[in-house]
Structure 1
Amino acid sequence: MAFLPRELLALMAVLGVVQLICGYSYRNCIEDQWSNRKSFHCTRRYVGKMSNMTQDLPVTAVNLSISHCNVSQLDNSLSHLQNLQHLSISLCNLKIISGNAFRSLSQLKSLILSFNELSELKPLLFEDLQSLNSLLLAHNKLQALPEEIFLNTSSLQTLNMDTNVLNNFANVVRSVSHLMNLTALDLSFNHFTSLSHSSASLPRSLTKLSLKGNNLLTLGCQATLFNYVKLLDLSNNARLTAMAFKGVDLSHLKFLSLKLTKVDILTFLNISNVSRVHVDFSGTGLKNKTQIEKLCELLRKKHSIMKSLKLDDNGIKSTSFTLHYCPTITKALHLSQNKLQTVKCLDFLDGQEKITEFYAEHNRLLSLSSCKNRSKPALTKLKKLSYRYNRILSVKANAFHLTPNIKVLQLNINNIAFLDHHALKGLKQLQELRLDNNLLTDLFKDTFANTCKLKILNLRNNRVSVIFNGTFYCLKKLTTLDLGGNKITHFQAAGFDGLTKLSKLYLDGNNLKTIKTSFYYAFQDTLKVLDLSRNKIRFLTKDKSSPFMNFSKLTDLKVASQRPYGLTLLPPTLFRGLHSLKSLYLGNNRITHIPCDAFDDLTGLHFLTLDNCCVGGVNLHPGVFKNLRNLTKLILENVGLQNFTKEVFGNLTQLRILQANHNTMQSIPLDALESLVKLQYLDIRNVSLSCTCKNSFLQNYTLHNPDLQVVYLYNLQCPEDNSKTFFNFNTEVCFIDLGEHLFFCTAAVIFLFTVTPLLHVKLYWKVKYGYFVFRAWFSEQWSRIRDKEENCKYDAFISYNSVDEEWVMDYLVPNLEGNKSPFKLCLHHRDFELGRDIVDNIVNAVYSSRKTICVVSRSFLCSEWCSLEIQLASYRLFDEHRDVLLLVFLEPISERQLSSYHRMRKVMLKKTYLQWPGPDTTNFLQARELFWSQLRRAIRAGNRLETEDEAQEHYAAQDHQTEENQTSDESCYLQP
């Protein structure tokens, strides 16, 4: 783990305090990709208050969409978004909007409040919205509008109040009458029963008015109400009759819909001044031949030409009628949503050869019969023909013989199982053909033989299994071929011959198992989009071939969602040669291994998705993206990614969007993210980032990087504790300089290991003595000993080893406690108090005696208790400056043997000591007498230490005495 230097930590602390920088991740909203902090959407966020959702949005926000959020009240939580231009709050159960909710939003241009529970609006709610031009209030519960509600919204152009409970049309007119720029007003599906109103009128600018789905019984309006309206929709007013229009001026209308009303259309045309060619006759009950032909006669009386005739949803069952008596139709005829079972080669269009579009969608057509033998003139102007949403089973040969110039033919969403080899014969001008969503099983070589100008061919969702040789040979101008959703297993060798200009090929949802270059050679230089997703393509070995090697212009390739298990092995050469590829889709596979050189040739790639490629985790090797330096968007959602490293992602220097949600990585190294220098959008939702020190830098980076948006950063939970969040887990402990602490700890340990042996030798007994003194003090022995110090109980305490007890009892005690020397000695076996701690006895003995005589022998030196006794006595000698210690050596001991007893050697250097004369000593009887004489004199001496001069005089006296007794060879001697 790396740690920040102190200087950087200090700088970070300062920046954190003064808030010079801040991240731009949002608690409940997501910035739209590429929007540069201008567009945001907040979806399915249940936060209670609107302020909780919008408080952290920046003032740069221009577009804001809030939906599927349970927020019942809107307060002034938007006031800081003064640059907002487009606002949508829908599907939020909004019930109350405070009067100052839109204060300061003077830049707002569009406002959507649809699909809520609003029942009323404050009078001055839109007071500050001077720039508003679009307002949608559809699907609410509004009952009325305050008259001054739109007083300051003079720029309003579109107002939609569809599906409310408005019932007073006069109230609405008064509210909108001053909107001089209003062009569209939608009042559909309200509760209006009439259009009566006071002196106020609709704005002159209003051109589109929808009143469909109300309960209008009559209009009841002034004659001039619709003087400026161009498009009027009164459909779905089931009780509205023709007489309601009597006296109402409809002359300015360009479009009128009366669908699903009780209006008798023929009566209506006779009593109104509407321009008849501008009426939509859909859903007006014109079911039979008589009614239709009567309509044509009425239309023809005033108009010789009409643009379009709409007869949709009239329940027409046959085409036995003729439109010969209608005005000349120059554009479109609509017969959709009727009950037609046949169109009989469009016989009913006799006399209408100028029609360019014909729609017969949503009928009951069963077949298209041959028209070759018909004597009717051809409809040479017809360009678009649509039979969508019917029940057509078969299309016979020459079915379009009378419409040779069709450019767009729509036969999709039928049941066509049989398409005759010559069904499309004669359609030499055809450019777009829709045959998708049918039951076709075979395509033949001559099926498209005459459609040489075809550019778009859609055969999606049929049952084609084989593409035979030459099927598309004549389609040399075809640019888009959609064969998706079929059952294609293979193509014959020349199946795609002729497609020399094909740029888009969709083969998704078939049963292809391999990718063979030979199938695509015809268009390999022109193809730009190739969709092979949802097939059965698999690679069982590391195939070294490159099926796309010559696709020099391919920009989009989809190989996603292979069935049934998906791609598991990705050959390293699969994408060789795709230097122009911009988008690659590999999602929903089970790729377990991606070769490190798999993407080496994709130098122009901008978009790559590997989403849902999880079988225990995709193995991304270091350098796998090394050549994707132009990649801007990478999707790695749910791929089992465990490690996010610089070695893998470090070369993506142009990456702006990274979606890595639903993965298993517990940490993201900071250096890996910092290498993505242009990253703007990071989605790591549902990633279990651990709230530990290894992510402390990541936390700081995501919070304080002003260029990176981390989606819902503030909602990322700690996997260790769901009650804590990633963005604010405690990282203080992580910034301790562990190196410095380890140095000092290591130095201390080394110092202790080095010094402890020395201290043990030098101070062991002193420390131990201090401990024992403390014990004595604690048990009130110390004070007692000090009080009795000057009036000692014993003359000498004898410290000896049990091995030397015989000498003590036979020699020492008789010579010191006999008649010659009446000293009182302290012997441990005789004078120690029974039942008392031995340490306390030793301390008491030392401090209750004027002198301590240590009988030194080799056994004495090995005894711990003897060592304690001499240490206690030497402490009094050196630390209390009291001459209390006498050393008696029973046997010669070499300097080497005394080298480890530093305290004793120090005593020997400072004091004289006595050597017991052995039996081999010359004149040992005289020597022993001298020994006892000197010992008695030493015991009698005071406790005060002699000065150096006094000591020298004493030593000289000792030497003089020795000469007088002529014991130059005796063993008892004095040494400094």
Structure 2
Amino acid sequence: MACNHLTYLSKHIFQGLNNLLSLQLDRNRISSITNSSFESCSKLQILDLSNNRLNKLEIIRHILQHTPGLHELDIQNNTFMYFNSPEISNRSLALNSLDISHNPLKSFRLTSDIFPKLTTLNLYNCSQKDMIWDVQNKSFLQHVSKLYLGGGHMSLESLRAVLQTVNSSLTSLTLNDESEALSPLITVACRIPTLTSLLLTKNRITAVPGDLLKSCGQLTYLGLSNNSISNVSGSSFTALQQLASLKMSQNNLTSVPTVISNLTKLKTLDLSHNNIRRLGCSDFAHLTQLTVLTLFSNLISKLEACFFQDLNALEILRLSNNRIHSLGKAFKNSLPNLKSLYLNSNKLTNIKHRTFKSLRSLTNLTLVSNQINILESGAFEGLINLKKLTLSQNQIDCGKQGIRQEVFSRLSHLTHLNMFDNKCQYDTDDTIPDPPFANLSSLQTLIIFTQHHRLKSNLPANFLKGLTNLSELKARNIRITSLKPEMFTHTPQLKSLEINSNNLVKLDPELFLPIQKLEQLFVSTTKLQSLDFLIHANLSKQAQQNAFSIINETVLKSLPALTYLDLQRNDFTCDCTNAWLLDFIENNAQTQVLEGHSYTCIFPANLKGSQLLDLDTRSCLESISFSFYVSTTCAVLAVLAGALSRHHLRRQVVYAYYLFRAFLFDAKRKNGRGACQYDAFVSYNVHDEGPWVLRQMLPVLEGEQGWKLCLHHRDFQPGKAIIDNITDAIYSSRKTICVISRRYLESEWCSREIQVASFRLFDERKDVLILVFLEEIPAQQLSSYHEMRRLLKRQTYLSWPRAAQHSRLFWHKLRLAPETSEGSGEENSLITGLEGP
């Protein structure tokens, strides 16, 4: 809940969140919190209230009373002026970390041991010059091991008092913005025998004198980042013989300080964000235990073979954001244990034969954002353990001199190749004599897409030859116009394919036959005019921003496992050719059609811009029926008789059929009757799903009142016949809630749901129906809906429009419905208080 405009927390605001562990309320405007706000948060462990407007300790007291297990509390950057233990708590707290930095404290008093488990305390920039530090017993903070001080607002005496309080347990100290009192404070701090880590950031140090750290021989970590250091005395680090980590980033160094080579136990060295222009052959001499060297964001332009000759233990080397134009022989005879090499954002133009010859342990090589246009044969020879190679944002032309089979020779362990934003363009989609990835049999991920608009291109039919284990291919926005049917015969393990943002107009249905394991297909923002290419597939689809006008029903019926279909931002023909799609969107219980109600028409002209779901399909159904009878008889009289019979008896036949199915189901159910699985099955039309069912009813009934509802898009069993799902849902629920609107009355499946529910009503003689009208429907408009009229004569109903000013009463009446008698033999009015039409 961070970064909002909250000004206070009301009573029981977190009610129901009994298992909440972490709560972020930072960067709001909270100045008031009620006593009971955190009553439900007994399991809370982390609470961030930083950057608010709190100023009373009693607020913190009430919070801590309700959160006995709180481990981390951050109240930095508020307006507290006093921090006194009697006002916070009279018992021991479980806090491990307390951040009260950036508060204008006048006093810090501990008169009792309320922080027996505190290990981290942040007091940076949290006091005034005359702040009183009053910790009556040093044992009150005996476990504090990490301390943050500085900001220039505490007197030297106060700072010394703080350090003396924790001088038996402190291991890590951060001193920021303390340029005036820095030297004496370092002397006091380094006399603490347990101190091993010292961070001196933002202290405006320009030079490191020889005696500054002379008493800090026990340090294993020293941070001097974000100062202005340009000069380091030759004796500055003489005493630091135990130092394992040194960080001097964001300074003004122009070369590697010579004193560093004497730190023989050093394991990590960070010299990033300086002005180092050149390296010397002795800069890292004797650093035989160094495992991480960071030199990114400097001005280094050249690498020599001797620079890294002694770094036999080095595992990570970061040289990004320099001006390196040539690698020379730097990696041909050194760094045998290097695992990750970062050369991003330099000025390399080509990778020559066996450039990385000695890096036999390398697993990750990154060459992003250089100017590479040539990869010589055997460029990566020697990298026998390389798993990830990133060549993105260069100028490599896959189709000309840039990539040949020999470039990636012997990379038998490579699993990830990223060539994003290069020039993978070919003039032909026929087979080529030298497919670039033929030697990469272990490759699992290949990325060749680009962000920039390119000219039309092709991919050769055997472009993917050799990639027998490829599972993910991203070929987005490379401007290809077609794909040959044999393209994926080389990648039988492919599971994810992105070919969106291309110039594809049509895809061959045979294209996906070789990749039966495909699970994700992204074809958005192309020019495809048909989904016929999916007819042999069985996967999850995303097909946004294409030019589909008519969707083939056979295509979707060939996808029995389809559960999610996204056709947003497409244009549709609104005539009988897409009539079946309306029924699919509204009534298919297995497949969710995302935002189906928003699909618009492009043809015919008089319907352009209108909603697809507004299409009147009744004439389409009549045309289909007429065609069926014409095709089965040549006698005009028989056609007319059949059409009349179907018109007059259709409802009765369908009703009888579903009554019979419900009767069979009920007879079977009575043999093994058990408790109902749901409180209610909700029967509704898809148009009312988002606006009312999910946004109005679901939060109240399930969220507030604890109902367990059965919703067809969520709870129907995939693969089962829809009518069986409906019957199971109704007989497994105590009630059936019918959410009635004009579109509900017109829906065939909604009609079937209410028919089955009606049979249960008459068969069991229980009041199992709850009718909720979302619209005022005049009685004359109900005249053609016989089933609904018959129910309204026996059932009282709820009207949402009439309850607009009495929503609480509406939900109260609805809540009472499942509590009414279900064993009565009468037809009673269970929901009273609102009249019928």
User: Of 687, 693, 718, which residue of structure 1 is paired with 2:570?
Assistant: 687
Q: d(CA) in 2 for partners of 1:409 and 1:272?
A: 33
Q: d(CA) in 2 for partners of 1:674 and 1:287?
A: 78
User: Of 223, 237, 248, which residue of structure 2 is paired with 1:334?
Assistant: 223
Aligned to 1:594: 483
Q: Tell me the amino acid that sits aligned with residue 668 of structure 1.
A: I
Aligned to 1:624: 511
Q: Tell me the amino acid that sits aligned with residue 142 of structure 2.
A: S
User: Of 321, 327, 334, which residue of structure 2 is paired with 1:437?
Assistant: 321
Q: Tell me the amino acid that sits aligned with residue 516 of structure 1.
A: I
Aligned to 1:210: 99
Aligned to 1:414: 298
Q: d(CA) in 1 for partners of 2:131 and 2:302?
A: 47
Q: What secondary structure, in the 3-state scheme, does the structure 1 residue paired with 2:53 have?
A: coil
Aligned to 2:760: none
Map 1:365-404; keep pairs closer than 5 Å: 365-368=253-256, 371=258, 378-404=262-288
User: Of 709, 712, 721, which residue of structure 1 is paired with 2:592?
Assistant: 709
Residue identity (%): 25
For residue 743 of structure 1, report the CA deviation from its aligned partner.
5.2
Aligned to 2:620: 734
Deviations 1:177-211 (A, max 9, x none): 24211111121222222224655517611111222
Q: d(CA) in 2 for partners of 1:448 and 1:590?
A: 39
For residue 401 of structure 1, report the CA deviation from its aligned partner.
1.2
User: Of 72, 82, 85, which residue of structure 2 is paired with 1:194?
Assistant: 82
Kept after mapping to 2: 8 A contact 1:169/1:197: no
Kept after mapping to 2: 8 A contact 1:177/1:203: no
Q: d(CA) in 2 for partners of 1:641 and 1:509?
A: 28
Seen in structure 2, the aligned counterparts of structure 1 residues 491 and 737 have a Cα distance that, compared at 3 Å, is closer
User: How many equivalent pairs are there?
Assistant: 625
Aligned to 1:923: none
Q: d(CA) in 1 for partners of 2:451 and 2:26?
A: 43
For residue 622 of structure 1, report the CA deviation from its aligned partner.
2.2
The answer for unaligned runs of 5 or more in structure 2 is 638-837
Q: Tell me the amino acid that sits aligned with residue 178 of structure 2.
A: G
Q: What secondary structure, in the 3-state scheme, does the structure 1 residue paired with 2:446 have?
A: strand
Deviations 1:133-180 (A, max 9, x none): 222222222211111222232112122222222121222212322421
For residue 131 of structure 1, report the CA deviation from its aligned partner.
2.0
User: Of 178, 185, 190, which residue of structure 2 is paired with 1:285?
Assistant: 178
For residue 577 of structure 1, report the CA deviation from its aligned partner.
2.0
Computing the radius of gyration from Cα coordinates, the structure with the larger value is: 1
Map 1:808-819; keep pairs closer than 5 Å: none
For residue 461 of structure 1, report the CA deviation from its aligned partner.
1.2
Q: d(CA) in 2 for partners of 1:240 and 1:634?
A: 64
Would you say 1:297 and 2:187 are equivalent positions?
Answer: yes
Q: What secondary structure, in the 3-state scheme, does the structure 1 residue paired with 2:521 have?
A: strand
User: Of 346, 356, 359, which residue of structure 2 is paired with 1:475?
Assistant: 359
Q: Tell me the amino acid that sits aligned with residue 251 of structure 2.
A: N
Seen in structure 2, the aligned counterparts of structure 1 residues 548 and 483 have a Cα distance that, compared at 3 Å, is same
Would you say 1:117 and 2:42 are equivalent positions?
Answer: no
Q: d(CA) in 1 for partners of 2:71 and 2:40?
A: 17
Aligned to 2:757: none
Kept after mapping to 1: 8 A contact 2:572/2:612: yes
Would you say 1:568 and 2:457 are equivalent positions?
Answer: yes
Kept after mapping to 1: 8 A contact 2:453/2:477: no
Kept after mapping to 1: 8 A contact 2:5/2:29: yes
User: Of 488, 497, 502, which residue of structure 2 is paired with 1:613?
Assistant: 502
For residue 741 of structure 1, report the CA deviation from its aligned partner.
5.2
Aligned to 2:69: 181
Deviations 1:440-463 (A, max 9, x none): 111112455221211111111111
User: 1 or 2 for the larger relative contact order (CA 8 Å, sep ≥6)?
Assistant: 1
Map 1:47-126; keep pairs closer than 5 Å: 113-126=1-14
Kept after mapping to 2: 8 A contact 1:445/1:470: no
Q: d(CA) in 1 for partners of 2:290 and 2:144?
A: 32
Aligned to 2:145: 254
Kept after mapping to 2: 8 A contact 1:208/1:231: yes
User: Of 400, 413, 417, which residue of structure 2 is paired with 1:526?
Assistant: 413
Seen in structure 2, the aligned counterparts of structure 1 residues 579 and 727 have a Cα distance that, compared at 3 Å, is farther
For residue 222 of structure 1, report the CA deviation from its aligned partner.
4.4
Would you say 1:151 and 2:39 are equivalent positions?
Answer: yes
Kept after mapping to 1: 8 A contact 2:198/2:219: no
For residue 359 of structure 1, report the CA deviation from its aligned partner.
1.1
Q: What secondary structure, in the 3-state scheme, does the structure 1 residue paired with 2:128 have?
A: coil
Would you say 1:674 and 2:560 are equivalent positions?
Answer: no
For residue 512 of structure 1, report the CA deviation from its aligned partner.
1.3
Seen in structure 2, the aligned counterparts of structure 1 residues 489 and 219 have a Cα distance that, compared at 3 Å, is same
Seen in structure 2, the aligned counterparts of structure 1 residues 254 and 222 have a Cα distance that, compared at 3 Å, is same
Q: Tell me the amino acid that sits aligned with residue 208 of structure 1.
A: S
Q: d(CA) in 1 for partners of 2:634 and 2:444?
A: 66
Would you say 1:650 and 2:535 are equivalent positions?
Answer: yes
Q: d(CA) in 2 for partners of 1:707 and 1:307?
A: 61
Q: d(CA) in 1 for partners of 2:196 and 2:608?
A: 67
Q: RMSD of the TM alignment (CA)?
A: 3.0
Aligned to 1:172: 60
The answer for unaligned runs of 5 or more in structure 1 is 1-112, 752-976
Q: d(CA) in 2 for partners of 1:632 and 1:420?
A: 48
Kept after mapping to 2: 8 A contact 1:358/1:386: yes
Seen in structure 2, the aligned counterparts of structure 1 residues 343 and 627 have a Cα distance that, compared at 3 Å, is farther
Q: d(CA) in 2 for partners of 1:241 and 1:469?
A: 68
For residue 623 of structure 1, report the CA deviation from its aligned partner.
1.0
Kept after mapping to 2: 8 A contact 1:664/1:687: yes
Q: d(CA) in 2 for partners of 1:329 and 1:501?
A: 39
Seen in structure 2, the aligned counterparts of structure 1 residues 341 and 685 have a Cα distance that, compared at 3 Å, is farther
Would you say 1:637 and 2:524 are equivalent positions?
Answer: yes
Q: d(CA) in 1 for partners of 2:608 and 2:76?
A: 49
Kept after mapping to 1: 8 A contact 2:396/2:423: yes
Seen in structure 2, the aligned counterparts of structure 1 residues 413 and 308 have a Cα distance that, compared at 3 Å, is same
Map 1:481-492; keep pairs closer than 5 Å: 481-492=365-376
Kept after mapping to 1: 8 A contact 2:304/2:327: no
Would you say 1:309 and 2:194 are equivalent positions?
Answer: no
User: Of 559, 568, 580, which residue of structure 2 is paired with 1:697?
Assistant: 580
Seen in structure 2, the aligned counterparts of structure 1 residues 530 and 618 have a Cα distance that, compared at 3 Å, is farther
For residue 413 of structure 1, report the CA deviation from its aligned partner.
2.3
Kept after mapping to 1: 8 A contact 2:85/2:110: yes
Q: d(CA) in 2 for partners of 1:685 and 1:203?
A: 58
Kept after mapping to 1: 8 A contact 2:366/2:390: yes
Q: What secondary structure, in the 3-state scheme, does the structure 2 residue paired with 1:368 have?
A: coil
Q: Tell me the amino acid that sits aligned with residue 101 of structure 2.
A: K
Normalised by the size of structure 1, how large is the TM-score?
0.60
For residue 643 of structure 1, report the CA deviation from its aligned partner.
0.7
Deviations 1:777-808 (A, max 9, x none): xxxxxxxxxxxxxxxxxxxxxxxxxxxxxxxx
Deviations 1:838-860 (A, max 9, x none): xxxxxxxxxxxxxxxxxxxxxxx
Aligned to 2:544: 661
For residue 300 of structure 1, report the CA deviation from its aligned partner.
4.3
Q: Tell me the amino acid that sits aligned with residue 622 of structure 1.
A: P
Kept after mapping to 1: 8 A contact 2:125/2:153: no
Kept after mapping to 1: 8 A contact 2:336/2:359: yes
Deviations 1:474-508 (A, max 9, x none): 11111111112111111333432222222211111
Seen in structure 2, the aligned counterparts of structure 1 residues 324 and 128 have a Cα distance that, compared at 3 Å, is closer
Q: d(CA) in 1 for partners of 2:51 and 2:412?
A: 54
Kept after mapping to 2: 8 A contact 1:500/1:522: no
For residue 637 of structure 1, report the CA deviation from its aligned partner.
1.5
Q: d(CA) in 2 for partners of 1:217 and 1:211?
A: 13
Q: Tell me the amino acid that sits aligned with residue 98 of structure 2.
A: L
Would you say 1:134 and 2:22 are equivalent positions?
Answer: yes
Deviations 1:283-342 (A, max 9, x none): 141468xx43x3443234441x42211111111111223465334445321111111124
Q: d(CA) in 1 for partners of 2:304 and 2:427?
A: 41
Q: d(CA) in 1 for partners of 2:565 and 2:92?
A: 49
